[in-house]
Amino acid sequence: MKRLALGLVASGAFLAVGCASAYQGTYDKTYQQLESQADAERRKEEAEHAEAKKYAAVVYFATGSALIDEEGQREITWFVEKLRPYPKAVIDVQGFADSTGSEATNAALSMQRTQAVVAALVSQGIPPDQVRQAHYGANYQAATNTTPQGRRHNRRVELSVE
């Protein structure tokens, strides 16, 4: 009888270890599958992000103005359309001014221009939490301020993907 009892206990222990081992194997396999899927998703997002980063746009403004003209509207629309396949893209919007006017005026203008472009992006479906904005006044010139054409290039808002 003792032998039978010991045999049953040993069989039960063997069965328990076997079940735990089988469960651990199933768990490990499931974990590896989930980890593999997560890695594939991460690689896909990284590739999409790299693709989206190639798009950029520049909107130019008239002297002393933060109004977006037709050409600027077209540029923004083009940019938004290019980013539609990348709904998680974060957009950097950076505003600038030329050196015409005071430092305070240029700081205010670059901020107003940035806000105007952000409003245009949002009106075309870009979520506000995916837009980062900064404004620099007359700092960081793209061209010389000694010519009308150079000043025009400095009155701008640049759009890019982070």
Q: Which of 47, 125, 62 is nearest to 91 (CA)?
A: 125
pLDDT score recorded for residue 33 = 77
Whole-number percent of the chain with pLDDT over 70: 77
pTM of the model: 0.72
pLDDT score recorded for residue 141 = 87
Contacts of residue 56, Cβ cutoff 8 Å, sequence gap at least 6: 79, 158, 159, 160, 161
* pLDDT < 70: residue spans in the chain: 1-23, 34, 38, 40, 42, 44-52
For 1-46, how does the pLDDT look when each residue is reduced to its tens digit (9 = 90+)?
A: 656 555 555 555 555 556 666 667 777 777 777 677 767 676 766 6
